[in-house]
Amino acid sequence: MIREVLDRGVALLALVVLSPVLLIAAVLVRLSSPGPVIFRQVRVGRHGRPYEIYKFRTMYHSGDSGSAQVSPDGDPRVTRVGRVLRAWYLDELPQLVNVLKGDMGLVGPRPETPEFVALYTPSERQVLSVKPGLAGPSTLGFMDEADQLAGCDDPLEHYRTVLLHERVRLDLGYLERRSLGYDLLLLVRQVVAIARH
C-alpha cells in the first residue's frame, strides 16, 4: 500500500512538473511526421494481465507495428525527433500515466509484449509476480541495447534468443532485493545514467 501511494504520488507530481517538457515533446512529435503523438502497445503486467503502455511515438507511423520495440541503432523507421527523444529517454515519460493508473510502478521489471512473454521459461515468469516498472535493473543494464542490436544480422532473433532472457535474469535478481530503499537507489542510478548517456 505504501509503495502504491508513493508511486502514484510521485507520478502525479512528475507529470505536473514535467508538463512543459511533455507539451514540447508532443508538439515536436506532431510536427515531425504524420501519425498519432502517443504510441500505444499491449504489454503484459502483473499476474499476466495485459495493459496498454503509452510512449511518445518515435517511429514513422507505418513502422509502429510488428517488432517496434526491437529497434537497433540507426533504425530507418525512427524519426529525427524520435532519435532525440530516445537518446534522453523522453519517449518513456507518458508511462507516468501508466503508473498513475496503477498499471506500472516507478521501478520494476521491464514490461514485454505478449509475443515475448510467451518465450519465458516457467521460472522466468516469476517476474510477472510484481508490477512492471518505468525503471529497473534490466532497463539500467541494457541502456546500450540499440547498439548491441545494430551489430546483429537479425536483431529480432538476437533479442528473442539472447537479450530477452538476459534482461529477465536481471529482473529476477531485482525480486530478491526489492525494497523501497533499493527502488530509490535504482531510480537515482537511472537518472544519473541518462544524464551521462
Q: Are 118 and 112 in contact (CB under 8 A)?
A: no
Confidence of residue 180 (pLDDT cuts 50, 70, 90): very high
The mean pLDDT of 22-50, rounded to a whole number, is: 97
What separation in angstroms does the CA of 69 have from each of 82, 86, 90, 115, 147? 13, 12, 15, 11, 14
Give the residue carrying C-alpha cell 512528475.
14
What local confidence, expressed as pLDDT, does residue 63 receive? 46
The mean pLDDT of 145-166, rounded to a whole number, is: 94
Inform me whether the pLDDT recorded for 64 exceeds 60.
no
| 3-state SS, one letter per residue, for the chain | CHHHHHHHHHHHHHHHHCHHHHHHHHHHHHHHCCCCCEEEEEEECHHHCEEEEEEECCECHHHCCCCCCCCCCCCCCECHHHHHHHHCCHHHCCHHHHHHHCCCEEECCCCCCHHHHCCCCCCHHHHHHCCCEEECHHHHHCCCHHHHHHCCCCHHHHHHHHHHHHHHHHHHHHHHHCCHHHHHHHHHHHHHHHHHC
For the chain, the domains span 2-196
The mean pLDDT of 9-30, rounded to a whole number, is: 98
The mean pLDDT of 109-136, rounded to a whole number, is: 97
The pTM assigned to this predicted structure is 0.93
Give the residue carrying C-alpha cell 529517454.
89
What local confidence, expressed as pLDDT, does residue 148 receive? 93
